């Protein structure tokens, strides 16, 4: 719970247009999971929160952020790779969807996301 609250603080700093109440509601909701990136000393550096739609085989990334002092050091890529691995092995998902902020499109493209949805429409 403490890690989730630290992650909430990072999200609300990094995503200033998102209302804090909205972040808390999704982050603490049982249908959402969060992968948290920790430093060796236990400090939360960032995380990804997603909702698994297991029967349909995809997950929806709701939030993704790295603390500003730790950005552009490769942690965002590492975090995404761990999250993908977890979602594939534990939730049996094959795809992630997200509604990205304009200035995060570059990051998501580098993580293999496409603007065209390649999933079957149904």
Q: Does 4 bind ligand COA (CB under 6 A)?
A: no
Orientation of helix 20-27 relative to helix 2-14, angle to 10°: 140
Residue 21 annotated as catalytic = no
CA distance 69 to 89: 31
**Interface with ligand COA (CB under 6 A), residue from 85, 88, 110, 117:** 110
Burial (CB < 10 A; 0-12, 13-18, 19+), residue 74, is exposed
Residue 27 binds ligand COA, judged by CB under 6 A: no
Judged by CB under 6 A, the number of residues near ligand COA is: 20
Contacting positions for ligand COA (CB under 6 A): 14-15, 63-66, 71-77, 100-101, 103-104, 106-107, 110
């Amino acid at each position: 719970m403490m890690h989730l609250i630290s992650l909430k603080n990072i999200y609300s700093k990094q995503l200033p247009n998102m209302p804090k109440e909205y972040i808390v509601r999704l982050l603490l909701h049982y249908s959402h999971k969060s992968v948290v990136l920790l430093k060796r000393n236990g400090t939360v550096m960032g995380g990804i929160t997603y909702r698994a739609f297991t029967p349909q085989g995809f997950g929806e990334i709701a939030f993704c952020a790295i603390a500003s002092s730790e950005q552009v050091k490769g942690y965002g890529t590492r975090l995404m790779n761990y999250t993908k691995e977890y979602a594939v092995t534990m939730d049996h998902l094959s795809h992630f969807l997200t509604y990205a902020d304009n200035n995060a499109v570059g990051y998501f493209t580098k993580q293999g996301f496409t603007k065209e949805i390649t999933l079957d429409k149904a």
